[in-house]
Amino acid sequence: MHFRPGCRHEVRCCEVEPVRGGGSSTSRRSPEPSRPLFSPTMQRALEQALDRADYVIESALQRPPKRKSSSSGEPTLHEKLYDIYVEECGKEPEVTEALTSNANLLEKLVQRESLPCLVVNLYPGREGYSLMLRGKNGSCSEPIRLSYEKGGIAGIPGRRRAASCSGGFPGESPN
């Protein structure tokens, strides 16, 4: 077990016996053991619990390392998400937040960066789904309705028109 001097979670098992005389109900350390405070099984369980608590505390105190700057100058989405994660880990947790301050990082990135979003609406049964782009300024493209069975993004007739709204699909040359 790893004890750090002065820590509040330090527990040592000792023998106690009541102080005789004086009418006080206090206890003192006995120079010669009379009976153990904890059974050996309980002592092992306490040591394991303290080891686990030390591990959890040390893990919680570790902060993720700062990332290195991107070579292209503009950080990638992954780098931006990582920066938000590091920032959220550095905040003091509030009682209402519990341990969820570094959750929903993508949502926080979209709110912060006001990035364009792909909006997907799912319809019940065989009614299919629709796709729409929402721009940085909040304007939306015309929704494209698709069926669940066939089609997909690659097979839709208005693909070029939808691609021009977002600046093109990856690997595709502009019109």
> pLDDT (tens digit, 9 = 90+) per residue, 90-129?
776 665 555 566 678 888 887 888 778 888 999 998 889 9
The bridge status of strand 144-146 relative to strand 129-134 is antiparallel
Cα dist. 116→28, 49, 133, 135 in Å?
A: 70, 48, 7, 4
Nearest to 145 by CA among 162, 128, 157: 128
Q: How many CA atoms lie within 13 A of 36 on its CB side?
A: 8
Residue 146 parent element (H or E): strand 144-146
Return all residues near 19 (Cβ < 8 A) that are at least 6 apart.
26, 27, 28
pLDDT band at 164 (very low <50, low <70, confident <90, very high): very low
How many angstroms separate the CA atoms of 3 and 57, rounded?
A: 13
How many angstroms separate the CA atoms of 37 and 124, rounded?
A: 65
Residue-level pLDDT at 49: 93
Q: How would you write 107-130 as a 3-class SS string?
A: HHHHHHHCCCEEEEEECCCCCCEE
DSSP letter (8 states) at residue 75 = P
What is the C-alpha radius of gyration for the chain, rounded to an integer number of angstroms?
Answer: 31
- Mean pLDDT to the nearest integer, 47-72: 78
pLDDT digits (tens, 9 = 90+) for 137-160: 778 888 899 888 765 554 445 444
